[in-house]
Amino acid sequence: MIHRVLITGAAGGIGRRLRLLLRGAYPMIRLSDRVSVGALAPGESEIVADLADTAQVEQAVDGVEGIVHLGGISGEDDWPNILESNIVGTYNLFEAARRHGVKRVVFASSNHAVGFYRRRRRIGTELPVRPDTRYGLSKAFGEGLGALYADKHGLRVLAIRIGNFGDVPIDKRRLSIWIHPEDLAQLVRIGLDHPELRYEIVYGASENERGWWDNAAAFRLGYRPRHRSEDHRDAALEAQAELPPDPVGDLFQGGSFAAMEFTGDPEGRGG
């Protein structure tokens, strides 16, 4: 059983919610980000660390058994920033985990690792990655890094391709990819606790009737989402009607991320 957990990126939007939802599930939770997370609850500790700084990452990882890796840039950015935070930083995290004997890592991947699949297609986790941005590429790198450390060093890794995290889906696309915070917390706990986990990629999605993803791997591990996107259908579709069309983004699962800097022929793109 995991007792000591590190959450990186704990000051971010997902980190703040997971911190509350995981409170009490593990005796000690260490919170880390480049800035302070603020007041601490019983059982919590804090260490300010930059993922690009190897020594700081080593200090953050020392003594923990499981890591929930949310840290890094959470959207598209220039290549030098993505490289430092999401690629070098994620490598530093996994390497420190290996050196310190960490048992498990839950890696916050993203739907943008496969954002160039078309919306008409239902996909599982066995297909090749098709990132829609430099950000999505960095998440595909993190998935591959997790596989390497699982296969070569025995680290147990769950990569969660998070859809849209929030209390409700806010438009038509989100009806297909939404995940409620409580459902994401359930997946994180599977990653930290499931006895048979070795390496797995799952989709971070609630029960979405319009979903594009086959999440059989998550269900096999015992995932049972509690929240349904269709319960919020009317409000989401009403909000969608106020949005302008996106000739590129509306074709692909990655939405506006696929449309960023796009210079190709959308009709000629497969998937």
Structure tokens at 104: 């498990």
CA distance linking residue 60 with residue 46, whole number of Å: 9
SS3 string, the chain, reads: CCCEEEEECCCCHHHHHHHHHHECCECEEEEEECCCCCCCCCCEEEEECCCCCHHHHHHHHCCCCEEEECCCCCCCCCHHHHHHHHHHHHHHHHHHHHHCCCCEEEEEEEHHHHCCCECCCCECCCCCCCCCCHHHHHHHHHHHHHHHHHHHHCCEEEEEEECEECCCCCCHHHHHHEECHHHHHHHHHHHHHCCCCCEEEEEECCECCCCCECCHHHHHCCCCCCCEHHHHHHHHHHHHCCCCCCCCHHHECCCHHHHCCCCCCHHHCCC
Among this protein's residues, is 117 annotated catalytic? no
Name the CA radius of gyration of the chain, rounded.
18
- Per annotation, catalytic residue among 91, 135, 149, 223: 135
Query: Which residues are bridge partners to 32 per DSSP?
Result: 8, 47
Catalytic residue numbers read 135
